[in-house]
């Protein structure tokens, strides 16, 4: 479960203080798929970064599965990220000098396991196989297409079966065909693992598949709707 209380974030830009998030309160129950939407500059990516502990809020608190993370130091946060979070980025963010298999193995190795461990290797291989990359295990990112890279990233995100998966426009860099395929895989894995999935997206078709839609504007939540409610109002704001 993710709880957000009075979350604010400002940054110094030159001589100006820019308020990106101006006070967000949210609770996302375990297993829910929530889509965060909003126009550019509304604070979506910042909110996602704060949920992952990638950045520290100016005010407020983020609580992941009962653990408040906003005052944690970098190493504690790294531990939380490794244990509780999986991340899928718009631009894949694979490590270029590692092969597909090694990229998927990395979270496992970061948790103190050796890559020689048969368990980890078998799981990484099977994850890659399950996203259709069984014949691309030893390819480097540069040798893979965008869709393939994102599927490697997907496998990496689920390597340690985290309770929460955060995705930042995971199909934003892909064509519609590849994007749909990646989304299918992501949602399938979400359903199977019952992980909480929070996804930032611009795409109303994607958000339509979410159980919940959170609409941001100017750093505030202006709408928070569950899937059974009509989406026309939300779309009108986009």
Partner 1 sequence: MNGSINGSVNAPAKRTTGRALSSSVALRIAWREFEAAPAKFIFVIVSVAIGVAALTGVRGFTESFQKTLLGQARTIMAADVSARMFRQPSAKEIAGLNALQGVERTQVTEMVSMASTPSDPIPLLVSLKAVDPSQYPFYGAYKLRPAGTLREELSPERVLVGEDLLIRLHAQIGDSLKLGNSTFRIAGVIEREPDRMNSSMGIGPRVLITRQGLAESGLLQPGSRAGERFLMRLQPGASDIKGLHAQVEKVLPEAQVTDFREANPALTRGLDRASSMLSLICLVAMVLGAIGVAMSMRAHLEQRMDILATMKSIGARSSDILRIYLLQTLLLGLAGGLVGVVAGFGVEWTIPLLAAKLLPIEPSLRLPVRAGLAGLGTGMLTTLLFCLPPLLDIRRIKPNLVLRRQVETQPEFTLAERWQRRRMQWIATAVILIALAGIAAGLTNSLTIAAWFTAALVALLLFITLLARTLLRMLRTALARTRLSLPSAVRHGLSNLYRPGNQSTAVLTALGAGIMLILTVFLMQNAVLRDLQETLGKGLPNIFLIDIATDELDGVASLIAKKPGVHGAMERLPVVAGRLNEVNGTSGDALKQERVPRHLLQSVSLTWSDTLPAGAKVHAGAWWKPGDEGKVAVSEGLARRMHVGVGSTMLFTVQEQRIPVTVSALYANDGQHVFGRSEFILSQRSLAHFPVVWYGAVHLDTAQIPQMQRALFAAYPTVTVINIADLLDTVAGVVHQVTIIVRFLAAFSILSGLVILASSVASTRFRRIREVVVLKTLGARRARVAAVFGVEFTVLGLLAGCVGVIFANLLTFILLHRLDVTFHLQWPAAAAAAAGTALLAVITGWLVSIRILGQRPLEVLREE
Q: Applying CB under 8 A, which residues contact partner 1? A: 11-14, 45-46, 48-49, 52-55, 74-75, 78-79, 81-83, 85-87, 89, 93-98, 102, 106-115, 117, 119-120, 122-123, 126-127, 129-134, 140, 147, 151, 154, 156, 158-161, 168, 178, 181, 184-185, 188-189, 192
Q: How far is CA 111 from CA 69, 74, 80, 153, 193, in A?
A: 19, 15, 11, 17, 20
Nearer to partner 1, 49 or 234 (CB): 49
3-state SS class at 140: coil
Nearer to partner 1, 148 or 203 (CB): 148
Least Å from the CB of residue 30 to partner 1 = 16
Q: How far is CA 124 from CA 58, 105, 117, 121, in A?
A: 38, 6, 11, 5
Do residues 147 and 181 make contact, with C-beta atoms less than 8 angstroms apart? yes
Least Å from the CB of residue 31 to partner 1 = 16
For the chain, the first-to-last Cα distance in angstroms comes to: 27
Least Å from the CB of residue 47 to partner 1 = 10
Nearer to partner 1, 57 or 203 (CB): 57
Least Å from the CB of residue 218 to partner 1 = 17
Using the CB atoms, write b or e for 188-207: b if 16+ within 10 Å. ebbeebebbbbbbbebeebb
């Amino acid at each position: 479960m993710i709880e957000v209380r009075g979350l604010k974030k400002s940054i110094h830009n030159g001589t100006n203080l820019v308020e990106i998030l101006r006070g967000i309160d949210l609770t996302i129950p375990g297993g829910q798929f929530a889509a965060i939407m909003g126009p550019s500059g509304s604070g979506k990516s910042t909110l996602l970064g704060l949920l992952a502990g990638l950045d520290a809020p100016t005010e407020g608190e983020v609580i992941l599965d009962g653990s408040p993370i906003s005052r944690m130091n970098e190493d504690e946060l790294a531990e939380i990220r490794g244990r509780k979070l999986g991340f899928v980025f718009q631009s894949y963010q694979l490590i270029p000098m590692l092969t597909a298999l090694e990229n998927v193995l990395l979270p496992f190795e970061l948790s103190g396991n050796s890559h020689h461990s048969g368990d980890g290797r078998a799981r990484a291989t099977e994850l890659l196989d399950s996203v259709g990359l069984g014949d691309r295990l030893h390819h480097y990112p540069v040798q893979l297409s965008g869709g393939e890279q994102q599927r490697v990233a997907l496998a990496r995100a689920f390597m340690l079966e985290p309770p929460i998966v955060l995705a930042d426009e995971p199909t934003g860099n892909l064509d519609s065909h590849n994007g749909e395929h990646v989304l299918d895989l992501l949602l399938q894995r979400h359903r199977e693992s019952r992980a909480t999935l929070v996804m930032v997206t611009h795409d109303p078709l994607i958000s339509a598949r979410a159980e919940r839609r959170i609409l941001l504007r100017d750093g505030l939540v202006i709408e928070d709707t569950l899937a059974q409610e009509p989406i026309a109002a939300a779309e009108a704001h986009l």
